Amino acid sequence: FAAQLLERTGAYSVLCPACGSGECSAFLARRGFRVTAFDVSAHTCRRVTRTAGLLGVQVESFSDDIITPRRQLRQFDAIFSHNTLHQMRPSQRHALLRSFHRALRIGGILVVSVLSMEDERYGYGREIEEDTFDSGSGDSIHFYSAPELHTELSEFFEVTQIEEMEE
């Protein structure tokens, strides 16, 4: 879905923060996007490079703080943030969205995937703030409603579409 949306908007350069294993980054590179991926873990960034290489594509990757990167990010046509926002506390999400805003060129597109209140994991664990739960591992997960996501994103971006989908 994300690749199709990015293709329709004419995006070419894509930033993938908190890139994890690099599967999404490599997939986008395979579709012809120039992808830059970063994560807090240097080990993860090496996996991104390895995953991309196995698929015969190139992904620029580096290790940095995803909320307040030390590296000056150039401006990108698009940012694809997959399963990141809902893993942060409100102040962190705000800082991350501000950082995204700075890294996105005027007219660029932000695509995010988050967990919604419809997810089967909603309500599992101890509620530590409204719609945010700690399952006991110390990691909190926030579950969004569409209006809440719209409000949060609207502070920095013009929101044109919020769509619920199955992964």
pLDDT, tens digit (0-9, with 9 covering 90-100), for 125-136: 999 999 999 988
Confidence band (pLDDT; 50, 70, 90) for 99?
Answer: very high
Q: Around 23, how many Cα atoms within 13 Å sit in the side-chain half-sphere?
A: 3
- Kindly report the pTM of this predicted structure: 0.91
Average pLDDT across the chain, whole number: 91
As beta bridge partners, residue 62 has 38
CA dihedral (31, 34, 40, 45) in degrees, to 10, reads 70
Predicted pLDDT of residue 137: 82
Mean pLDDT check: name the lowest of 20-34, 62-76, 118-132.
62-76
Confidence of residue 30 (pLDDT cuts 50, 70, 90): very high
Nearest Cα to Cα of residue 28 among 55, 63, 3, 61: 3
Average pLDDT over residues 108-123: 94
How sure is the predictor about 2, in pLDDT bands with cuts at 50, 70 and 90?
A: confident
Percent of the chain with pLDDT over 70: 99
Q: What is the reported pLDDT for 71?
A: 81
**The pLDDT of residue 136:** 83
pLDDT of residue 167 exceeding 80: no
